[in-house]
Structure 1
Amino acid sequence: VERETRYASPQNEVERTIAALWEKVLQVDHVGVHDNFFDLGGHSLLVIQLISRIRDVFQVELSLRGLFESPTVARLAQNIEVAQRATVGLLPPPIQPVPRDSWHCLPLSFGQERLWFIEQLESGSALYNISDVVQISGPLDVAAMECSLNEIVSRHEILRTTFVAVGGRPVQVIASSWRLTLPVWDLRDLPEYEREVETQRLLAAASQSSFDLSQGPLLRAALLWLDNEVHVLLLTMHHIVSDAWSKRVFHRELATLYEAFSTGKSSPLSQLPIQYADFALWQREYLQGKMLEEQVDYWKKRLGANPPVLELPTDRPRPAIQTYRGAQQTFVLSKALTQLLSDLCHQEEVTPFMLLLAAFKTLLYRYTGQENIVVGVPVARRNQSEIEELIGFFVNTLILYTDLSGTSTFRELLRRVRKVTLEAYTYQDLPFEKLVKELQPDRDLSRNPLFQIMFAYENLTPDDLKWKDLTVKLQEIHTPIAKFDLTLFMGKVNDEFTGTLEYSTELFEADTIVRLADHFQVLLESIVANPDQRICDLACLPKAERQRLLVEWNITAREYPGDQCIHQLFEDQVKRAPDKVAVVFENQHLTYTEVNRRANQLAHHLRELGVGPEVLTGLFVERSLEMVVGLLGVLKAGGVYLPLEPESPPARLAVMLKDAPLTVLLSTEHLLDRLPAHQAKVVCLDRVWTSISLYSETDLVTETLPENLAYVMYTSGSTGEPKGSGIPHRGVVRLVKGNTYADLTETDIFLQLAPITFDASTFEIWGALLNGGQLVILPPLLPSLEELGNALKQHRVTVLWLTAGLFHVVVKERLESFKYVRQLLAGGDVLSPSSAKKVLEQQGARCRLINGYGPTEDTTFTCCYSMTDVSQISDKVSIGRPIANTTVYVLDRYMQPVPIGVPGELYAGGDGLARGYFNRPDLTATQFVPNPFSAEPGARLYKSGDLVRYLPEGNLEFLGRYDHQVKIRGFRIELGEIEVILEQCPGVKEALVVTSPASPQRIGGHAEDKRLAAYVVYQKEQKPVVSEFRDFLQKRLPHYMVPAVFVLLKELPLTSNGKVDRHALPAPDQPVADGEGAGVAARTPQEKVVAKIWAQVLGLEQVGVHDNFFEVGGHSLLATQLISRIRETFHIELPLQCLFEAPTVAGLTKSIEAICWAAQDLSSRPSVQESGRQEGRL
């Protein structure tokens, strides 16, 4: 080892003893008093060994932090002398052998108890199998190998242990002897290719074969004979009897024993003073009283009552029950990067574990935007010398919670992680299982409690080992299993950091994980380049991905007449087809020439009234011919039209008229009494048209530029007051000319249905009139479905825009209305995949369905997704890509582009942007920001407030509002996902899911708690049954996504724009099923029996049929006892999983009855007879 300091010998007995301990632990010679422990190869595991040896020799308790802060012999000696004066009475008691006569009923360790419990949930799975492949080259003595394995089994009682339940509680049963037989599979005669295939098949089958914990053995071995001197030894153990440290002990002993036995010698290994069962009993006795209280208090303060749930973006929805199906992706960091990372570790006095964990947490922060990151980390928990040589399940899991403020530098974060890690190691004795019991997190079969992401750093040894006359190479089998959503394993081999990402294939695609690995490597390069950068600014995108996101997917430039104004393009159409019908309203119609003449006459009059560029003119009319003439007249005069909805509340109209001072206001006589007070000159189009018709019919000389405003449209504001978006002519022209999302021609017939205060009308009106099409205007009142359908068929409408809400209703009620529609646009809200598929299946290729997304501030459409086949629709309907001459960026809160698949806020740029908000420079500056990715002077982006993400192929997925994400009990929930599943339920026509306040009377509830409420519109011929809706969802979604309340409606209320009117929804006042039925007593004999068992197991006087088992004090061990009692009482095999799926008396009773009916083929409810102690016999 190369030392950075000159050797200085120890000066006293304490320093000499410490130096000797270092030499033994580090396996180096001549340790000087100024040598740094970590420079000599020390790491976290060796620190723990050193601390346990110091405890044995000096009788002092040193913390991990103490050694990190005193990493030299000299400084450590000083700390030990201080600690000797303060440690009296604080050392843990030694582990003593348990008397043999009591071994028949020994308890499990806390960690074993958790694995036993998981085994009851996942019976028959290979989830916790640990497998190693030992490749052996040379003359193998098979008999010596078998003897060596049996000697290890004889030495370690844990390998002869099975686990059975007594009264619902697991105990250890240790066999006095057990002999392992080593089968040999001879594959030498197979051709090389077949031999390799058969080898992999046998290894996979053996490693993935489940164990029976109650029967054993929990160690399997097999030998494959591949060539005369080539063998493969496969070892598989259940995790309940082993861990990573134990594997090293196993292989070390195997090498020692094989060398002895193959030369005819006896075992050189000394007898073990204690066994794993001794540790298990010691752990339970040690973790009591003040010791337990201190550990629990630390973790409760550190994690709080509800540790944050890390919502890593996934490719697929989370299944209701975690399947543990997984895969792995490996990567290797270059030697140069590894060296730079090691240098940074040295500078900051941290271990590679701390540095890589801080970097991983930074990546998770960049993926989720969450500043409070919780990650699980395994610790060996071998902090006592007497257990270092034992095989067994000692490993514990620590929950490392870190606050990652985006303004922190990486160096600051690294120091924070170092502090948190050292603190956590000080309190590592509290088993994860007891922490779960103390915190009582929401029980959920879809994910692991308290954390879903794990990070592990393994101090790897070289794979190639030398045994006597043999070359041995150790390999770990990667099974198709993932215990968590995502685990990052890091290690160092041959001066290179290596990584393996183990991930759930239920949640992630392989390509997503490959990208994540690339992002991690780029992030590490950015960290070593400048560790003083803010973590929000550190690069994590490879150059190719950044180029794709910022440039390639924004190549949308397309030629269009952006140098002309709206009315000029209309005049061009007049010249092309002067006698073509332009507008139809009821039994009236106007040709292009007629519309143009009337608009010119009005424009000349408006010019006299002072209307010109940038001058606002109000338009207070209903859908009519006058509406179209009014719009064009204002534009031809050079003015800006402000559409006002006659059906709007007077107070809202008053706010807009006050905000936007008008010179002129166009209206009709019958609407005048609806106008609030204002200062504008009113031009009553129907009353004064005779005089207007005297004006010239010729086109006016335009004084307007494409940059001038065409209209101001008001939309709802977050403050409750409407805000007016000023849209220039160029924005409208970019929307309807030269676009790629639709093919608009002079043969098309458009329906004008939207109010002119809704920006869909911009597309309807100008999409028709600027492309030579025909505009069919519906009467002012909202039509019935029958009237809408008749109009579509009567006028043979080919281009139709509908709000998402109206689209869904028409698809379900009047699908035949789309008979002539060849381009169907829908948007304004999330489109239902089932409705979209139904249209495409019915209409075929003759109809293009377009999902249009865009805010008013970007002139109606920003992105569109065009569909002609159902194969283009998955779980959600994409919003597609930016339309022509539009750019889109998905950014985090610090304006950094987020990776593909990661949610971020949509920022829109290009020619469709509004100038800003009328008379609101402050709001304009907030929402319209400089474009940091454009070299064009003055380029801006609109901050939409919408949460989206890029899909791998370049389409965008809409996720909801950026500032209105829903969280229930710490879980982030996408309401649309629940709606999609609920609409698949038989009898459900339409569904809407919202959040509502939970009842404060709920057990453990608070007034500020939220719950989910589902509004269900059901088929007329169906009789809705709420319990069926709930059962349907429980089989398909995690329980926290199942609405607590179901409200049945005949139809969803809609606004005048056709969107769901959420304010008009009735209050969800049904009682909540989970946790709010404390007052509901058992109603049937079966429920009474189950409730009685619950009360006894939980130690309660009584329970309600809707009480949640885990919310009223239940935990995993009590769950196994409850199920055991139910099995005995009802004489059935009830899986433990049933309690998690139905954690109420009412729900569990249904499961019991279903099993009884299936087992006995009963066609009626089973009866319960209570007789003495035989309660509940069926």
Structure 2
Amino acid sequence: QLIDKGIGLDSIVGLFARRGLELLISILAVFKAGAAYLPLDPNYPAKRLSYILNHSETKTILVTREMKASLITNLQELPKTEWPEIIEIEELLEKNIDVKEITSPVQPNNLAYVIYTSGSTGLPKGAMVANKGMINHLYAKVFDLELTEKDYIAQTASQCFDISVWQFLSALIVGGKVEIIDDEIVLDPLRLLNLVASQQISILEVVPSLLSAMLNSIAVQKPNLSLLRWLVVTGEAFAPELCRQWMLDYPEVLVMNAYGPTECSDDVTHYLITSTLPKEMTYMPIGCPVINMQLYILDQHLSPVPIGVVGEIYVGGIGVGRGYLKDPEKTANVFLPNPFAMSPGERLYKTGDLGRWLINGEIEFLGRIDHQIKIRGFRIELGEIESVLREYPEVKDVVVVARSLDATENTENTNSLKTSQDNVIVAYLVARGSQFPISSLREFMQEKLPDYMVPGLFMFLDTLPLNPNGKVDRALLPEPKRDREQTQNHYIAPSTEVEQQIASVWGGLLKIDKIGVNDNFFDLGGHSLLLVQVQNKLKELIGKEIPLVEMFRHPTVSSLANYLTQLTQLTQTLKQVDQEDFSEVKERAIKRTNTKRQRPPRNL
């Protein structure tokens, strides 16, 4: 049906749906038509979605019935004449048509998908990946994880995160199964691990920050993961200590550290960890290149550096993508002619990452050259956040950085100290006049950026510190701290016992002395993974499991306290009803028994 609508080679088809079977079917249908898919996250702000659709010149969008109204609302940002054709996925599936075998016309260099990533100029850029790169990466996972038809892979990542591609498709290559897990469960570490156990998942991929939260959650309850074969860790630098902690709890589960940029078809190296890491290891290796890929560590003249010397990581091979959609300038800056090529036309991708060769032929990742960061697995250009902040009328100047607020927690079921780094985006602001309410600025940013790109902390300065060259000296920026004053809420102290318990837990984790009943957890700098720690702490205090989704719905102390109070009252009422029902049932049963005893036997 897509082919009949003129969709073919290198056509871009937008997919607007929640992660689920309809989305996976649509991806396969787009591939069969020879086209490329463009994942659109329904959670993105309307302005970002409209920019992506306008920039990509997407002519067709497949949408699920439940998300159609939301899509139309988001399209209001565009003139009606620029709207793409909207096709309901269910409508195509329900049509009674003759199914026939279609030979796909796609070739290795044709486009497979476009994923928009954060851009330093303030606008996202569309990374184009060819079929040959995508297929190569899928088989790299099949080979290195030794996937078979017996494997059951957890699909946990957003469709706009490049790792979702192999999570969706690699099991299908070998006849295995994929479990598409709801966001609500993915965000809840203990529920995720329990589902992995109950569904007998064999392959699970997480980012290090989620792994840290998972390790903290199993202090309360440790699920049996006897059928989990591999834990794949990706998206951020993987601390060796975090790996050691996992291997203490689940020594039978093998670990893979995977590294790779979206522009190169996802992961380009794998590091397989099958035994305890040496104590002296401070940086986790990213391993060796996967099949048909090459990595180079070069100096500023594109000359290879010796073993042990730090240089920039460059990627070559079949997985190097086609560049950025409709952006030849950005493409030319990082997709360079390959001086080591065996055949003409090959290119190197300049990653901006620092690394060095180890003597055993593996690579050690050592961070970034520029101001690009990763928070909870999402790649973020700080310049894009700064550009949006400068659009706000009351902001005179701004610089955005990422800082770590260290948090340690001693768990009860192990002898080790589990440490997680609370990575926070901090915006340092110079106001045009007097300081203004941060809440209005946050709302402004939420209309333009995904939630993970909205700064967790805002700090006002009279001026930004400059070095002798007149550039912002980031080293002189004051240490960030979470402060309820930036919310500009009138402080009302917690009064009830439940409010005091919630405020105490928030204050301890956010490192804020005074928490008011009207303070919003996220306005104070909280985020989803920190909310998981709140969930665990409150469970210890009140002895009750609070669904994570309810904590998102009740982000203030007062609203969460009211929810818990009502929940307690409802539970008590249900118990009372159950007891009363049981008494009535028991009484009726006794009456029936007595009646039966009084009746004469039928055979008399």
Change (3 A) 1:1025 1:744: closer
Change (3 A) 1:655 1:1025: closer
The match for 1:715 among 104, 117, 123 is 117
User: Which SS does the other structure have where 1:724 is aligned?
Assistant: strand
1:698 lines up with 2:100 in the alignment:
yes
Q: How far is the alpha carbon of 1:899 from its aligned partner?
A: 2.3
User: Which SS does the other structure have where 1:737 is aligned?
Assistant: helix
Alignment of 1:626-645 (within 5 A): 626-645=22-41
Q: Name the residue aligned to 1:338.
A: none
Change (3 A) 1:634 1:872: farther
- 2 CA distance for matches of 1:714 and 1:1024? 33
The match for 2:351 among 944, 963, 968 is 944
1:1010 lines up with 2:477 in the alignment:
yes
TM-score, with structure 1 as normaliser: 0.33
AA partner of residue 901 (structure 1): G
Preserved CA contact (<8 Å) 1:831 1:877: yes
Q: How far is the alpha carbon of 1:1021 from its aligned partner?
A: 13
Q: How far is the alpha carbon of 1:664 from its aligned partner?
A: 1.9
The match for 2:153 among 723, 745, 750 is 750
Change (3 A) 1:979 1:830: farther
User: Which SS does the other structure have where 2:120 is aligned?
Assistant: coil
Preserved CA contact (<8 Å) 2:510 2:526: no
- 2 CA distance for matches of 1:903 and 1:631? 40
Preserved CA contact (<8 Å) 2:298 2:314: yes
* Alpha-carbon displacement from aligned partner over 1:591-627 (angstroms, at most 9, x marks no partner): xxxxxxxxxxxxxx00100011111111111111111
User: Which SS does the other structure have where 1:902 is aligned?
Assistant: coil
Q: Name the residue aligned to 1:961.
A: 368
Q: How far is the alpha carbon of 1:682 from its aligned partner?
A: 1.4
Q: Name the residue aligned to 2:276.
A: 870
- 1 CA distance for matches of 2:354 and 2:462? 35
The match for 2:43 among 629, 640, 647 is 647
Q: How far is the alpha carbon of 1:829 from its aligned partner?
A: 0.8
AA partner of residue 98 (structure 2): S
- 2 CA distance for matches of 1:905 and 1:817? 41
Give the share of equivalent positions with the same residue, in percent.
31
Q: How far is the alpha carbon of 1:674 from its aligned partner?
A: 2.3
Q: Name the residue aligned to 2:294.
A: 887
- 2 CA distance for matches of 1:1022 and 1:631? 45
Change (3 A) 1:663 1:996: closer
- 2 CA distance for matches of 1:982 and 1:949? 30
Q: How far is the alpha carbon of 1:1012 from its aligned partner?
A: 4.3
- 1 CA distance for matches of 2:359 and 2:311? 15
Runs of 5+ unmatched residues, structure 2 = 374-400, 429-458, 483-503, 512-523, 533-604
Q: Name the residue aligned to 2:180.
A: 777
Q: How far is the alpha carbon of 1:786 from its aligned partner?
A: 3.7
1:992 lines up with 2:422 in the alignment:
yes
Change (3 A) 1:965 1:948: farther
- 2 CA distance for matches of 1:1025 and 1:661? 43
User: Which SS does the other structure have where 1:879 is aligned?
Assistant: strand
Q: How far is the alpha carbon of 1:699 from its aligned partner?
A: 2.2
- 1 CA distance for matches of 2:509 and 2:26? 50
- 2 CA distance for matches of 1:754 and 1:632? 18
Preserved CA contact (<8 Å) 1:832 1:876: yes
1:802 lines up with 2:232 in the alignment:
no
Preserved CA contact (<8 Å) 1:750 1:768: yes
The match for 2:85 among 681, 689, 695 is 681
Preserved CA contact (<8 Å) 1:825 1:849: yes
The match for 1:612 among 2, 8, 20 is 8
User: Which SS does the other structure have where 1:906 is aligned?
Assistant: strand
Q: How far is the alpha carbon of 1:766 from its aligned partner?
A: 1.4
User: Which SS does the other structure have where 1:860 is aligned?
Assistant: coil
Preserved CA contact (<8 Å) 1:930 1:939: yes
Change (3 A) 1:1014 1:962: farther
Change (3 A) 1:1005 1:756: closer
1:759 lines up with 2:162 in the alignment:
yes
AA partner of residue 103 (structure 2): V
User: Which SS does the other structure have where 2:90 is aligned?
Assistant: coil
AA partner of residue 612 (structure 1): G
Alignment of 1:541-552 (within 5 A): none
- 2 CA distance for matches of 1:864 and 1:960? 17
Q: How far is the alpha carbon of 1:685 from its aligned partner?
A: 1.3
Preserved CA contact (<8 Å) 2:208 2:233: yes
Computed over aligned residues only, the root mean square deviation of the Cα atoms, in angstroms, reads 3.7
Change (3 A) 1:878 1:686: same
User: Which SS does the other structure have where 2:272 is aligned?
Assistant: strand
Alignment of 1:724-743 (within 5 A): 724-738=126-140, 740-743=143-146
Q: How far is the alpha carbon of 1:951 from its aligned partner?
A: 2.2
Change (3 A) 1:608 1:1054: farther
Q: Name the residue aligned to 1:400.
A: none
Change (3 A) 1:1048 1:757: closer
Preserved CA contact (<8 Å) 1:983 1:991: no
- 2 CA distance for matches of 1:937 and 1:1048? 51
Q: Name the residue aligned to 1:658.
A: 54
Q: How far is the alpha carbon of 1:988 from its aligned partner?
A: 6.7
- 2 CA distance for matches of 1:611 and 1:1005? 53
Change (3 A) 1:798 1:912: same
Q: How far is the alpha carbon of 1:859 from its aligned partner?
A: 1.1
1:912 lines up with 2:323 in the alignment:
no
The match for 2:255 among 812, 833, 849 is 849
Q: Name the residue aligned to 1:170.
A: none
* Alpha-carbon displacement from aligned partner over 1:247-273 (angstroms, at most 9, x marks no partner): xxxxxxxxxxxxxxxxxxxxxxxxxxx
Q: Name the residue aligned to 2:328.
A: 921
Q: How far is the alpha carbon of 1:763 from its aligned partner?
A: 1.4
AA partner of residue 774 (structure 1): K
Change (3 A) 1:983 1:829: farther
- 1 CA distance for matches of 2:408 and 2:184? 32
AA partner of residue 856 (structure 1): T
Q: Name the residue aligned to 2:240.
A: 833
- 2 CA distance for matches of 1:923 and 1:1012? 34
AA partner of residue 816 (structure 1): P
1:668 lines up with 2:73 in the alignment:
no
* Alpha-carbon displacement from aligned partner over 1:650-679 (angstroms, at most 9, x marks no partner): 111111101112232110122122221443
Change (3 A) 1:652 1:900: same
AA partner of residue 753 (structure 1): T
- 1 CA distance for matches of 2:317 and 2:531? 32
- 1 CA distance for matches of 2:304 and 2:57? 40
- Higher RCO structure, 1 or 2 (CA under 8 Å, sep 6+): 2
Aligned length: 419
Alignment of 1:1090-1109 (within 5 A): none
- 2 CA distance for matches of 1:681 and 1:1051? 35
Preserved CA contact (<8 Å) 1:805 1:1054: no
Preserved CA contact (<8 Å) 1:999 1:1005: no
- 2 CA distance for matches of 1:854 and 1:956? 12
Change (3 A) 1:780 1:834: closer
Change (3 A) 1:817 1:708: farther
Alignment of 1:1021-1100 (within 5 A): 1052=529
Q: How far is the alpha carbon of 1:775 from its aligned partner?
A: 0.6
- 1 CA distance for matches of 2:462 and 2:360? 49
Preserved CA contact (<8 Å) 2:11 2:35: yes
User: Which SS does the other structure have where 1:707 is aligned?
Assistant: coil
AA partner of residue 800 (structure 1): L
- 1 CA distance for matches of 2:481 and 2:297? 31
